[in-house]
Chain A
Amino acid sequence: MTNHFNDIRHSKLLFFIGSNAAEAHPVAMQYILYAKEVNNAPVIVVDPRFTKLAAKATDYVRIRPGTDTAFLMGLINQLIQNDWYDKEFVRTRVAGFEELKKEASHYTPEVVEDITGVPAKEVVRIAKLLADNRPGTVIWCMGITQHHIGSSNTRACCILQLMLGNMGKSGGGTNIFRGHDNVQGATDMCVLSHSLPGYYGLSDKAWKHWCKVWGVDYEWIKSRFYNKKYMNKPGFTLARWYQGVIQEDKITQYTPIKAVVFWGISSQSISQYHKVKKAFEQLDLVVVIDPFFNTTAAMCEKDNVYVLPSTSQYETEGSVTSSCRQAQWRYKVVNPVYDSKTDYEIMEEFVKRFGFADKFYKNIKKIPEDITREIANGCLTIGLCGWLPERIKKHTDNWHTFDIDTLQAKGGPCDGEYYGLPWPCWTEDHPGTPILYDISKPVAKGGLPFRARFGTEYTYPDGRKENLLAAEGVANPGSEIMGGYPEFPGWKTDKNVIKEAIKRGMAPFGNARARCYCWNFPDPVPKHREPLHSPRPDLIKKYPTYPDKPDHYRVYTRYKSEQKPELAKEFPIVLITGRVVEHMGGGDETRSNKYLAELMPEVYAEINPRLANDYGLRDGEMVWIESPEGGRIKIKVKVTERVDDKTIFIPYSFSGMFMGRSMLSNYPQGFEPYAIGEPANIVTNYGYDIKTQIQGTKECLCRIKKA
């Protein structure tokens, strides 16, 4: 999130696309409803499904799954064509406008209607609403990201806000409501196969930086790898690691995967889940570490699995980063119950036995505080230098002293600081940055320009040259240079450079323009591409997907060869998945809570009355849903108008059933969850984002049969 939940109080318009905050982020609703009622802000909800959030909308737009970029580009085109865009903002802080304009011009209201199903008039009306009610916030979740063009979707959202001049402003911003409690923190730490902590990537420079922080010899770390190439090569992802085992698609590493460790994570969140189960059967070793006996363990039907009880996070402590980049200290409530161990203790058991404890814990004596300090020493890129454990604790201890409107402390021990020191928190006395890219405040007081990450000038394919730095006169108050400037050399590895920049009123990472044309993406300007499994075969030729990618996170990933127009004949119904408020993620925790299990005890498929009647299905009857990949699940029909007559929705937090079979006998007695059901991901399809490899679970095809 560029802004924060509380800041939505200042929004004059709320534009949700692929987010169902009412179920996924219920406590954020107070700010959404505040803006709606107090500011009279239009609440636009763009979603294939009439969600609980849509029920609170002033304007609901039903869109065909997988066509978000087309819709967003249609809006952008309207803003440009009608001169409704923020010309001054574009002139001073945006790059690649000409290229954007050219690409966007394709998406006329009529073209958008054909692709998305949204009436042409609606496209114009929504664009006008956006233009007339500024600043507005754009909010999205996995409805935008889980597509094979997910990265284009997200960029189109950002470009929309750039055109409206809504970036870096209170009430504006691009606000991605993230899922899990610490998914922001874990992302910042880059528990990711393509980067070291702090988004440093995997370059030699990145490794050398981190070796220095860890206090270990770079050559030693290098010697731990198969060879140097594999140090710099992104690894398998959560979405496709199992292909390293079953190898249906060719893998590009020297060995198959032989062992997997699932540490605080569900496996049933992975699409084509029946193939994941196949991998469990072929592995030599599966290690599950979790507070509950989870689905992964129950899916392993070979003697190759160990299950270790970790504590819940209430039996340990540490910092946790909320969606708005705020750190809070999650204090320990009680000591570990039963014979469970904290994650830190389990880590120590591993590291000790692997024989590198002295190196691993070189700077870490007191856990977790010394780890927080090591992070602050290493993660300069996102300005975690100011996140000292005592500061984070001080904020949590004094949470009552912060203003709910600005999140700034009014007096007290944290006076003037923003709650949770939202990153970048550049120095040990920086107050945090509550709103990213806000040039109305000095950098030392939480202001920030756009980052200069891609050089100072670029030549577009047509020969046009553009300065990538912000225009003359545009900078944070107190900046030594009143205008664009490049990044400070060495700021990512030297805290003194950061301090020097702040002292001079400048951002360490420079002051640039935000790019609408990203030459390092397959589609420099976002463009529509039909879902791999498209219900509109007639559009595939016009909007085809990408060529296949032979080495995409170590595995061949099909695009063009997977996009077959004839598929829709056999699998005519669109399938989407999503959340219910009662459950979380894979649901192993919430379905082990008897109250939540009682509130939402079983999985179901939402089917439109027309579709149900055509198939002779009555509410409450059982239906088989089948995927093109051979997954099938048997679930209850919920006849409802929430979905249209081409689309089925299934909540994804269930497990314990597998393609019609109960897996309960695989649980040790007494450890079964209170509620079980078929995992929706057994029927989600093949398809991965071209850049990030996120799975495309919001653009699937299926067929149904009465059970």
Chain B
Amino acid sequence: MAARKIISRKAPSGRKFTLNPKVARRSFMKIAAAVTALTGLALSGRLTKEAEAKAKKSPYSQSKIVRTICTYCSVGCGIYAEVENDVWVRQEIAQDHPVSRGGHCCKGAGAIDMVNSEKRLKYPLKRQNGRWVKISWEQAMDEICSKLLDIRKKYGPDAVHWNGSAKVSTEMAYLQRKLAAFWGTNNIDHQARI
């Protein structure tokens, strides 16, 4: 339980903030040591041994497995994602998936990095005087939408071109097309064109 509290820390914005699982584990051990020192309680030798054996079998004793689908190509390979405390800790091939049957290419084998890559974009940015400035979602959306609405008013709805995506869910792709329709334009396209 201690681990859950520590790993699921809240970011300043109030949104969930995920730590690198390795770091999280280290923090857990540190905290566990601290707890032991403070309370004067120590686990008995037998219990420690059992816990260690279990940990060797799976370092993520509280984890759950999620079935999901690779986001690279259109073969649609199955992935078993192992999640502990809202951190994607490991991925496993899906031997029983009827199409991929345990197959993965090098990209799919690294699917976990789509979430865990430290290169992920972490907050909204705006280019100002040639520099990138971190801004809040509220500010970003307010500024973007008021600019879009101004352009619409001044030049008409066809002055905006929307490029949607083949990398989002079908439901989201549908919303992208619907948004263009409600905006009042057919200037919308995506990767399938090319």
Decide yes or no whether A457 CB sits under 8 A from chain B: no
The docked-state distance in angstroms from the alpha carbon of A639 to that of B178 is 49
Check A350–B141 contact: CB distance below 8 A: yes
Query: Is A28 an interface residue when CB atoms closer than 8 A count as contact?
Result: yes
| A334 and B115 within 8 A (CB) | yes
Please report the C-alpha to C-alpha distance between residue A356 and residue B145 in the assembled complex, in whole angstroms.
13
Q: Which residue of B lies closest to A392 (CB)?
A: B170
Contacts A233-B186, A234-B186, A285-B144; A341 near B137 (Cβ below 8 A): yes
Question: What size tier do the contact residues of chain B reach?
Answer: 35 or more
Contact between chains at B128 and A371 (CB < 8 Å): no
**CA–CA, A30 to B186, complex, Å?**
41
Partner of B166 from the list A28, A183, A581, A592 (CB cut-off 8 Å) is: A183
Instruction: Indicate the member of B77, B88, B167, B178 with the most A CB atoms within 10 Å.
Output: B167
**Contact flags A571-601 to B (C-beta < 8 A → 1, else 0):** 0000000000111110001101111100100
Q: Are B158 and A340 in contact (CB under 8 A)?
A: no
**B137 proximity list for chain A (CB < 8 A):** 308, 339, 341, 349
Provide the A322-338 mask, 1 if CB < 8 A to any CB of B, else 0: 11101111111111111
B169, CB-defined interface residue at 8 Å: yes
Residues from chain A with a CB closer than 8 A to the CB of B119 are: 292-293, 592, 670-674
> Are the C-beta atoms of A235 and B108 separated by less than 8 Å?
no
Contacts of A354 in B (CB 8 A): 145, 148-149, 182-183
**Candidates A24, A146, A221, A599; contact of B181 at CB < 8 Å:** A221
B156 & A254 in contact (Cβ 8 Å cutoff): yes
Q: Is the CB of B99 within 8 A of A238?
A: no
Q: Contacting A584 at CB < 8 Å: which of B73, B129, B143? A: B73
Q: Is the CB of B182 within 8 A of A368?
A: no
Residues in chain A near residue B25, CB distance under 8 A: none
Identify which of residues 145-171 in chain B touch chain A, using a CB-to-CB cut-off of 8 Å.
145-149, 151, 155-171
| A694 contacts partner chain B, Cβ-Cβ < 8 Å | yes
Q: Does A116 contact B (CB under 8 A)?
A: no
Assess whether B169 is in contact with A319, with CB atoms less than 8 Å apart: yes
* Residues on the B chain within 8 Å of A237, using CB: 189, 193
With A and B bound together, what is the CA distance between A233 and B181 in angstroms? 12
Q: Which of B120, B145, B176 contacts A263 (CB 8 A)?
A: B176
From A124-132, A396-404, A441-449, A628-636, the one touching the partner chain is A396-404
CA distance A356 to B124 in the complex (A): 24
Known: A26-B103, A192-B188. Is A312-B177 also a contact (CB below 8 A)? Answer: no
Interface presence of A479 (CB below 8 A): no
- Known contacts A259-B147, A340-B120, A368-B169, A312 near B115 by CB under 8 Å: yes
Report yes or no: B128 in contact with A585, Cβ–Cβ below 8 A. Answer: no
The answer to whether A192 touches B192, judged by C-beta atoms less than 8 angstroms apart, is yes
Query: What is the bound-complex CA distance between A179 and B132, given in angstroms?
Result: 33
Contact status of A595 and B106, CB under 8 A, knowing A326-B76, A335-B16 = yes
Contact string against A for B residues 105-141, beta-carbon threshold 8 Å, 1 for contact and 0 otherwise:
1111011011101111111111111101000010011
Shortest CB-to-CB span from B182 to chain A, Å, is 5
Indicate if A185 sits at the interface (CB-CB under 8 A): yes
Asked if A315 is at the interface of the complex by the 8 Å CB criterion, the answer is yes
A151, CB-defined interface residue at 8 Å = no
Say if the beta carbon of A244 comes within 8 Å of chain B.
yes
- A55 CB within 8 Å of chain B: no
**Bound-complex Cα distance A334 to B90 (A):** 12
* Cα A258 to Cα B145 with chains together (Å): 14
B69 contacts A by Cβ under 8 Å: yes
List A279-307 residues whose CB lies under 8 Å from chain B. 284-285, 287, 290-293, 297, 300-307
Cα distance A337–B143 in the bound complex, in angstroms: 24
Binds B, one of A10-18, A194-202, A485-493: A194-202
Given contacts A225-B184, A284-B151, A360-B182, contact A337 B120 (CB under 8 A): yes
Taking a contact as CB atoms under 8 Å apart, the answer to whether A181 and B107 are in contact is no
B30-38, B40-48, B50-58, B79-87: which lies at the interface: B79-87
Q: Are A264 and B164 in contact (CB under 8 A)?
A: yes
Contact of A331 with B66 at beta-carbon distance under 8 Å, contacts A186-B170, A202-B186, A235-B187 already known: yes
Q: Which residues of A contact B192 (CB under 8 A)?
A: 183, 186-187, 191-192
What is the CA–CA distance of A284 and B151 in the complex, to the nearest angstrom? 9
Flag whether A177 is at the interface (Cβ < 8 A): yes
Task: Compute how far the CA of A354 lies from the CA of B175 in the bound complex, rounded to whole angstroms.
Answer: 14
Question: How many angstroms between the C-alpha atoms of A313 and B194 in the bound complex?
Answer: 22
B-side residues, CB < 8 A to A, are 11, 13, 15-18, 66-78, 81, 83, 86-88, 94, 96-101, 103-108, 110-111, 113-115, 117-130, 132, 137, 140-149, 151, 155-179, 181-194
- 30 sampled A-B residue pairs with Cβ under 8 A: A4-B99, A27-B100, A27-B103, A142-B194, A146-B194, A179-B166, A183-B192, A189-B170, A191-B177, A193-B186, A224-B181, A238-B191, A238-B194, A241-B189, A257-B158, A257-B161, A261-B162, A262-B163, A308-B137, A319-B169, A328-B69, A330-B68, A333-B83, A338-B17, A349-B145, A353-B145, A375-B174, A400-B96, A593-B114, A596-B106
Beyond the given pairs A254-B156, A333-B115, A419-B98, 4 more chain A to chain B contacts, judged by CB atoms under 8 angstroms and listed by A's residue number, are: A202-B186, A263-B163, A306-B144, A671-B119
Closest 8 CB pairs of A and B: A318-B169, A264-B165, A322-B76, A224-B184, A235-B186, A185-B170, A183-B166, A353-B145
